[in-house]
Amino acid sequence: MKWPSFKTWISIITAVLVAVIIWQAWPNVVDAWHSLSQVNLWIFALLLPVQLASYAATGESLFSFLRARGELRGMHPLTAMRMSLEFNFANHMLPSGGAAGIAYTSWKLSTLGIAASRGTIAQLAKFGVTFLSFSIMLAVAGIHLLISGGGSTSVLWAAAGIGVLALVGVTLGVWIFGRRRLLHRAAGVVLRVARWGMRVLRIRKTLEAVTLVRFVDGLHLEVREIIAQPRTLVTPFLWSFVVNACDAALFWIALASFGVYPDPALVFVAYGVATVASMIIVTPNGVGAYEVVMVATFVSGGLDPSITIAAIVLARAVLLLGTIVFGWGFYQHSVVTAKAPGLSRRGTVA
């Protein structure tokens, strides 16, 4: 009997994960279906272009950094969009708090000749500038709510806490990757844990310490080069504002389709609180925690609970469906073929 290949196992596991996500979210899908009669479909239809714009901007915040480092020059816009949809599917649908998505994206970039260390740092840089712009926008939103009186004490404290947490996270990340010895020690711990796990599972394969050390050394050197040339982060930083604005706008549109037009500042704070909660909860796409936290923040800000629940549940169901529909095919094609996008005669990505 011939066992399925590794690629087949990956496809099967991903299909099971998607099925589990749909099963977990199914009650929300049913509730969303029943609430459609209350929706202005013309407004609600705006979710589709804004979601696609968010995915495209997320991709550009990554690709623009790599272009600044001399990679992916000449990439066709359609190829960039396709890869953005694929990466967003991996980041949102695979579990482990985004780690699986980072690993997948690094592998995909390696098929384009980008070193694993550079591909990983590119993603971490994308997250870093996104958190920075997120903190700036959150500070503006919090100040607006404080002046206008449109936010409760709990909402304002949540905004302040999350903003500080994002800044501390970025600063700590830069400090860690700037310490070579610390990275080597961390690599040693990872290697020992991995070897122990392989012994427990009786996997007969040798893990080379040299390969892991080279990888973390590459991360360290990449961070040093970024610090020496901070201009490479300017364009990704600007794109990150678009990403945050589009993601928050999705929920403003959902509420507006029910005839509720909340303060955009409150929407951004609710989006921020829910996003942090989904990062802590390692369920794929933050199913469950995201909705509860976002609704609680909106209700604390004075919105009607019943309408808010219906709008958020409906939006999350549709966005979940969009993530699967737009990204699944490209992800599956990459896993099955392990093929990079074709190169044009000039050596650029087609």
Q: What is the pLDDT of residue 46?
A: 92
Q: What is the pLDDT of residues 156-172, one digit of tens each?
A: 777 777 778 778 888 88
Token pair 């040693």: residue? 188
283, with CB counted inside 10 A (0-12, 13-18, 19+), is middle
Q: What is the pLDDT of residue 28?
A: 56
Residue partners of 50: CB distance under 8 A and separation at least 6: 246, 249, 250, 253
Q: What is the pLDDT of residue 345?
A: 38
Q: What is the pLDDT of residue 6?
A: 47
Distance from the first to the final alpha carbon of the chain: 40
CA distance 171 to 227: 13
Q: How high is the mean pLDDT in each 10-residue block of the chain (350 residues)?
A: 50 54 55 66 90 89 89 77 81 64 82 86 89 88 81 72 80 83 83 77 71 83 87 92 93 90 90 76 57 80 81 80 75 66 44
Q: What is the pLDDT of residues 94-103, one digit of tens each?
A: 655 467 778 8
Q: With b meaning 16 or more CB within 10 Å and e meaning fewer, what string describes 247-267?
A: bbbbbbbbbbbbeeebbebbb
Cβ-contact 153, 164 below 8 angstroms = no
**pTM flag (> 0.75):** yes
Q: What is the pLDDT of residue 350?
A: 45
